[in-house]
Amino acid sequence: MAENSRVIYCYSDEFLKYDYGDDHPLKVYRLKLTYELSKSYDLFKNITVIEPEYCSEEDILKVHSSHYLYVLKQCNNGLCPPEAFFYNLDTSDNPVFEGVYDWSTLVCGSSLKGAKSLLSGVCDTFFSISGGLHHAMPEKASGFCYLNDIAVAIKYLIDNGKKVLYIDTDAHHGDGVEKIFYETSKVMTISFHESGRFLFPGTGFETDIGAGDGLGYAVNFPLYPYTDDKNFLRGFFEIVPTLIEAFKPDIIVTQLGVDCFYNDPLATLNLTTISFEKIIKFYKELGIPWLALGGGGYNPANVARAWTLALAIMADKEISDPIPDSFTDIALPYKVKINKLRDTESIKDEEYSNLIDRETSRVIEKLKKHLFPYHHL
């Protein structure tokens, strides 16, 4: 274990065996670039790096249906059985490729390894950059996600008596995780995302607050397109700290998707590393066992720099903005160039500025009025 920071980081080049296809926006090599950029800053000196493990069917079946798992396994050779269509497989979003089942179980195993490591007390923070595939449903694939690694990890934690807070700041609503835990008070799901009025999967409105025993335990903060750092942070800090204090989680699980950044090709939010670093520091300062997972991000340069900044904060290490030459050489074959590690100024859309301000205020007020009372706030 590391001398100065009880952090575990999960990565292996084994991930690079799998590929969604040349035309698909999710590039698995972004994981390699993230690892190499972090390595070029010497971030692994005081933390532990471990290999991922494939997840067992037994653990997956606690979240996913047996028949869906059977069909997904049949797709592992890159060919589809006829019924694949009914499980949203072999679509443009969820292509069938050689090793699709193995890829999915490797991601699941990495996140589950994090849950087990935190529960056993061998670390305080576990960062699984491959995880965060939040759209997968119990009986179908969705949004580039075949198995819901997040839900598998959370299920393990609550089965072992833990209260779990899940926070998702990906540009897309964390619909799969929310659906799986929508009727339980053992998990609080909080999702900040571009409004479903404008973006896939079209869900996650502030009126969606859970059901049954879970009423008040699903929290959604839809963000208007072009929302900037200022408004995102205003919404985040008006809502999240108060709910954490009321819920008192044993463990936090965060999905750190960076498709919310201003130059991501699949969303239209205007966030930068400025707000990203602020929430990472907030998570760390909570002092609660922390399972950090990756997520969306379709500009590979953003993924590498944001998750490297996250790891630096986890490891209590200051890193400078100039990109090391050693990383530039590694990134060249992938046609990725990073000019700067941090964004130096926020991006503000003047045309929609007043509308964004009003929408942010409206959602804050609505959540405080209709959701907070379930927690006696």
Which residues are tagged catalytic?
Answer: 135
Give the H or E element holding residue 266: none
Question: Are the C-beta atoms of 331 and 61 separated by less than 8 Å?
Answer: no
Give the H or E element holding residue 100: helix 100-120
Q: What is the CA radius of gyration of the chain?
A: 19
Q: How many CA atoms lie within 13 A of 190 on its CB side?
A: 24
| Non-local CB neighbours of 66 within 8 Å, separated by 6+ positions | none
In degrees, to the nearest 5, what angle opens at C-alpha 143 toward C-alphas 14 and 277? 70
Burial per residue of 113-135, b for 16 or more beta-carbon CB atoms within 10 angstroms, e otherwise:
bbbbbbbeeebbbbbbbbbbbbb
Q: Which residue has the tokens 């990472």?
A: 280
Q: Give Cα 10 distance to the centre of its chain.
A: 15
Q: How many CA atoms lie within 13 A of 291 on its CB side?
A: 31
Which of 49, 126, 129 lies closest to 307, judged by CA? 129
- Cα 144 to Cα 91: distance, rounded to the nearest angstrom: 10
201 cis-preceded (ω within 30 degrees of 0):
yes
Question: Are the C-beta atoms of 217 and 185 separated by less than 8 Å?
Answer: yes
